[in-house]
Amino acid sequence: MDAHMDASQGAASSGAPSKATPASWLLLLPLALAQFIASYAASNMNVAISNIAADLHTDVHGVQTAITFFTLTMAALMIPGSKLTDIWGRKFCFELGLMVYGLGALIAAFAPGLGVLTFGYSLLEGVGSALMIPPIYILVTVVFTDLTARARSFGIVSAAAGIGAAAGPLIGGLVTSAISWRASFILQVLVVAAIIVIGRRRITDPGIQGAKPHFDLVGAVLSAAGLFFVVLGILQSGEYGWLTANKDVAIGTTVLIPQGGISPVWVFVGIGVLFLVWFFLHIRSAERAGKEPLLASKLFRNRTSNLGLLTQNIQWLTLQGTFFVISVYLQTVNGYSAIQTGLSLTPATIGILLSSAFAGRLARRRPQRFLVRRGFGVTIVGILLLLLSAANNVLALIPGLLLIGAGVGVMLTSSVNVVQSAFPEKDQGEISGLSRSVSNLGSSLGTAIVGSVLVLDLARGHNYAAALLTMVVIAFIGFVAAILLPATHDAPQQA
């Protein structure tokens, strides 16, 4: 039976209405704003890298690490956050996440050094996002049981995510240039406060049917540790190289890996993989024992969902990675200010806005798989145009950035809809957390992988080209995954 039909029937069996009501549409405003601010936080820092590094007496690599750890914290804790949503309640987790996020932004705004900035921004904002984002997608799926209304709702929320990421450099650049990079965090605090006020009146939680699930602490630790070490390993490539260590790896005076030995990248990645294998073994063991693991193993046996998750990961990896390439290069090589960098990235924002405006209409006329494929194709062409254009000519960047924004905007909604609709309502908490974790992991990897290439030697132009070529290869992998999406799950939404 078609997975879309399964999801629809699962929702219908819970007694949820089949059509969206005017009150349910009011729910989207605070949810979309929350997704916008979380995506904004992941990209607005890029244009202020030079300002932050100078103010906090650190370097580009230090700020890059803080940015990567923010999205990594979200990725590592998104799955546990989704499980807590089913235990504590969707509205409660949403509001708790907003409060933790707001506190982190306030601490980051007054950070005297990189350590405090990392604590407020990377840790607390990341934890807050991991708590507030899963309820967004669960509430949309549960409230909007009609497939057409659900597609439109996902379109709005996904567009908010894409616009937040694309507009982050522009808004962050304006605020940083006019006031300070610290004011950007104050802006986040004010927006979060507004979301809390609006959400208290508009968010209605349909409630969780049946007994509350058990929280799998061991699974949460294993999954978080696995993701953490994988991304941490990739981050080491910027300092030590990819294959062999270009200098001694030492703690104090103790040399752990001598120069010329294996790069610590693979040591950390290997540790991460071992934790993830342990996590999957733990899931299977818990299910055999009749216990409830952090994630059901069946979530990884759905071909449509697996391929959809891969496309989500690569979409965000490509978007954030490309933004990081352009932002760092323009600031460190061309000497652009925050506002100049933000304005240079504006075409991508316009592209996402334009494509998102037509996303709902396209979803009703074209199959989801078709839209994801076309989105990757357009994105790849956009990156190739960036590669062929002169990096020091802002006008030459416009066509490429415009196409990247349009391509990503087209496929964001389709990928989310494919994944979420592949499972019935009772599994929405788990698949939502897995979906958001995979997407945020993509953002982390985008910054980490591209940053490791650029940090090697920012003054050498071929590193700019190498970083963009890396994005082309990764985007092509996403294109192949979209081609492999089963056609049986590919029907257009009916108006």
pLDDT digit string, tens, across residues 42-85: 778 877 888 888 898 888 778 878 887 887 788 788 888 878 88
Are 475 and 355 found together in one domain? Answer: yes
Contact 345, 327 (CB under 8 A): yes
Contact 16, 138 (CB under 8 A): no
pLDDT of the residue at 255: 78
Residue with tokens 């389709």: 414
CA distance 105 to 110: 9
Classify residue 285: in a domain, yes or no: yes
Are 478 and 462 found together in one domain? Answer: yes
Are 377 and 408 found together in one domain? Answer: yes
Question: Cα separations (Å) of 484 from 219, 311, 359, 441?
Answer: 30, 11, 22, 22
Lowest mean pLDDT among 8-12, 401-405, 442-446: 8-12
| Cross-strand pairs, 81 | none
Classify residue 29: in a domain, yes or no: yes
Are 230 and 348 found together in one domain? Answer: no
pLDDT of the residue at 108: 93
pLDDT of the residue at 102: 95
Are 236 and 381 found together in one domain? Answer: no
349 or 374, higher pLDDT: 374
Determine how many CB atoms are found less than 10 A away from the CB of residue 113: 12
- Residue 187 neighbours by CB under 8 Å, 6+ apart: 171, 175
Which among 296, 308, 25 is positioned nearest to 157, based on CA atoms?
25
DSSP state string for 412-476: HHHHHHHHHTTS-GGGHHHHHHHHHHHHHHHHHHHHHHHHHHHHT-TT-HHHHHHHHHHHHHHHH
CA distance 265 to 494: 48
CA–chain centroid gap for 247, Å, is 33
243, with CB counted inside 10 A (0-12, 13-18, 19+), is exposed
Are 137 and 204 found together in one domain? Answer: yes
**Per-residue tokens: 87:** 């235990």
* Residue after which a domain boundary falls, among 258, 293, 328: 293
Are 98 and 157 found together in one domain? Answer: yes
Section 371-381 average pLDDT: 92
Classify residue 2: in a domain, yes or no: no
Coarse DSSP helix, strand, coil percentages of the chain, rounded to the nearest 5 percent: 80, 0, 20
Tens of pLDDT, residues 312-325: 889 888 888 888 88
Which among 322, 319, 323, 302 is positioned nearest to 435, based on CA atoms?
302
Tens of pLDDT, residues 200-222: 877 766 656 666 777 888 988 99
Classify residue 10: in a domain, yes or no: no
Classify residue 9: in a domain, yes or no: no
Classify residue 454: in a domain, yes or no: yes
Contact 240, 208 (CB under 8 A): no
Determine how many CB atoms are found less than 10 A away from the CB of residue 60: 19
Classify residue 158: in a domain, yes or no: yes
Are 274 and 394 found together in one domain? Answer: no
Contact 311, 410 (CB under 8 A): no
* Residue after which a domain boundary falls, among 293, 314, 331: 293
Are 423 and 394 found together in one domain? Answer: yes
Are 417 and 406 found together in one domain? Answer: yes
Contact 246, 236 (CB under 8 A): no
Are 184 and 263 found together in one domain? Answer: no
- Residue 322 neighbours by CB under 8 Å, 6+ apart: 383, 386, 404, 446, 450, 468, 471
Determine how many CB atoms are found less than 10 A away from the CB of residue 72: 27
The number of distinct structural domains making up the chain is 2
Contact 63, 53 (CB under 8 A): yes
First vs last C-alpha separation in the chain: 22
Which among 148, 147, 156 is positioned nearest to 35, based on CA atoms?
156
Mean pLDDT of all residues in the chain? Answer: 80
Contact 442, 315 (CB under 8 A): yes
311 or 490, higher pLDDT: 311
What angle, 0 to 180 degrees and rounded to 10, lies between the N-to-C axes of helices 394-420 and 428-455? 150
Which among 308, 313, 309 is positioned nearest to 368, based on CA atoms?
308
Q: Is the dihedral of CA 2, 306, 163, 194 positive or negative?
A: positive
Which domain, by its residues, includes 386? 17-215+294-488
* Residue after which a domain boundary falls, among 232, 266, 293: 293
Percent pLDDT > 90 in the chain is 20
Are 195 and 50 found together in one domain? Answer: yes
Q: Which amino acid is at 427?
A: D
The CATH number of whichever domain residue 453 belongs to comes to 1.20.1250.20
**Per-residue tokens: 356:** 């998102």
147 or 242, higher pLDDT: 242
**Residue 306 gets which letter from DSSP?**
H
CA distance 272 to 480: 26
Classify residue 493: in a domain, yes or no: no
Tens of pLDDT, residues 157-189: 877 877 787 778 788 888 888 888 899 999 999
Per-residue pLDDT at 127 exceeds 70: yes
